[in-house]
Every structure is written in structure tokens, then in C-alpha cells.
Structure 1
Amino acid sequence: MPVEPTRHGALKRVLVRHEDVNSPLMFLNEVSVRPGEVIAAHQHEDMEEVFYFLEGEGTMQIEDETRPVTAGDRVIVPHRNLHVLQNTGNKHMRFLCFGVKVVQ
């Protein structure tokens, strides 16, 4: 599967697209973030995101709270929450990320 740039910085390999499934799953991506790189602040109006970190270390900011993240950590970002991810380590950070449409 090819690697492509994300809209917010970093590189991603799209594993599953919304069109591939008949469910609220919006995507499943494997993402690589270079040392010092930041995935810029953004939010999703109708989707939660789940991050599972495979390698590296960094910080995840959700709204006003910033927490360290490393391999083995899981972070859930509720819809409409502004979030930023930064690689603070000296090697690539890799994680799986999937988005789920909020059903109301």
C-alpha cells in the first residue's frame, strides 16, 4: 500500500477507507511522524479518533490537556476536541489511527 501525506503533517498508509466497509468506520491508517514533527491542531465534527502507538515517543494535546505518549499507549479523542500530536523523540513515531463516525 502506498504512503501519502496527511492533511496535517506526517505520512500515512491507508489500510481501510470508509468506502471499503459498511460500518461507521471512517478510516484505519498507519502513520509515521518524523522526529520534531507536529501534526497540526485540528478537530473532527462528526468523528472520534483512536490512536494506538507502536514506536517512538511524543506528546498528545487534547484541548487544554497535554500528555506524554509512547509505544503501547492508546488515546481516544472525542469528536469536536481540538488535538495536536508532536514527536518529541529522536526516532520516527509510528501509530495506528482509526476514525469512527459519531452516531446521534
Structure 2
Amino acid sequence: MNKLEPNQANYSINHAGAFSNFRNVTEGMLKGKIFLKDSLNLTSMEVSLNNLPPKGEVPFYHKHKQNEELYIFLKGQGQFQVDGNEFDVFEGTSVRIAPDGVRVLQNTSASEDLYFIVIQAKENSLTQWVETDGIILEQPVEWGKSVE
């Protein structure tokens, strides 16, 4: 279902499809995961779209050498464990984990998939953000005039 559009000078598009379709996709070590780094030509982060089926779990603990991770939960309910501490996650929960945090995740629902996005970036590498990097342009917003 992954549909890529030709990369442009200033943007890339990947239409991955519905999260419900990811359950049987295997990229890397886990089923239900789609990585976006290569398809979108990402240069400062790795992003994955994830579907963990009912009662499914990540089958191993892991940590990172340099990258912190941000987990953003979109649907479902689960339980996260970081450094032996367990806590619930559900739609609207965001969890940031330092590289050394030992982590694992499970879907606690017997009937609903757990949908989430994971963003990895090098810890302490963010030097600018919206207020310090964004530039508001003095031009009117127009729609329906795409340049091909």
C-alpha cells in the first residue's frame, strides 16, 4: 500500500495507507512497522509508523547508542516499560526515551490494534525549533494553483 511520489527539491511524499494495513508488513526486525527514512530522504531523523496487534508485544528489550526516541500513540492501549518501570499508554500519550533507557512495549487490548509513530533523532542535537527557526512569509495563502 506504500505509494511514493517523486521527490521534489523541497519535499517528499509517502502515502503509507491506513495503519490497519501495516499489521502484515515487515521492515527490519518487526512485523507491523514501516520506516520512512529512505522513502522520504530524511537526513536528521528516523520515523516509523507502527501497528501492534491485539496482545502483541515487541519481543526484545532495546536501547540506542546516540538516538533518543519519541513514541506518539494514536489509537489503542498498551503498556510501556522503561528501565523496569511500567506505565500505561493510550491515544494521546507521548513518551520520550533517552538513548540509554532500556525499553519494551506491549498491546494490552484483546481486540484493538495499537497504532503509534516513533521518531528517532540524535540526543541533544536540536539547536533551533519553531520559535527560533520558523520564518513567517509576507505572502497571501492561495490554494488550487499547484505548479507542476
Q: CA deviation at 1:4?
A: 2.4
Map Cα deviations across residues 50-78 of structure 1 (whole Å, 9 max, x no partner): 00001110100000211000011000111
Alpha carbons of 1:19 and 1:72: their partners in 2 closer, same or farther (altered >3 Å)?
closer
Higher relative contact order (CA 8 A, sep 6+): 1
> Within the alignment, does 1:80 sit opposite 2:78 as a pair?
no
How many residues end up aligned between the 2 structures?
Answer: 101
Conserved? CA contact 1:10–1:34, under 8 Å: no
Partner of residue 33, structure 1: 52
Of Structure 1 and Structure 2, which has the larger fraction of its residues in strand? Answer: 1
Percentage of pairs with the same residue: 24
Cα distance in structure 2, aligned partners of 1:5 and 1:18: 13
Q: CA deviation at 1:98?
A: 0.7
Conserved? CA contact 1:59–1:85, under 8 Å: yes
Partner of residue 4, structure 1: 26
**Correspondence list, 1:83-98, <5 A:** 83-90=103-110, 91-98=112-119
Cα distance in structure 2, aligned partners of 1:60 and 1:10: 18
Alpha carbons of 1:18 and 1:67: their partners in 2 closer, same or farther (altered >3 Å)?
farther
Q: CA deviation at 1:6?
A: 4.4
Q: Return the TM-score normalized by structure 2.
A: 0.61
Of Structure 1 and Structure 2, which has the larger fraction of its residues in helix? Answer: 2
Q: CA deviation at 1:28?
A: 0.9
State the Cα RMSD in Å: 2.2
Cα distance in structure 1, aligned partners of 2:104 and 2:50: 14
Conserved? CA contact 1:58–1:86, under 8 Å: yes
Cα distance in structure 1, aligned partners of 2:103 and 2:96: 11
Alpha carbons of 1:6 and 1:32: their partners in 2 closer, same or farther (altered >3 Å)?
farther
Cα distance in structure 1, aligned partners of 2:31 and 2:105: 10
Conserved? CA contact 1:53–1:95, under 8 Å: yes
Partner of residue 64, structure 1: 84
List 4+ stretches of structure 1 deviating above 6 A.
Answer: none
Q: Return the TM-score normalized by structure 1.
A: 0.84
Gaps of 5+ in 2: 3-15, 17-24, 126-148
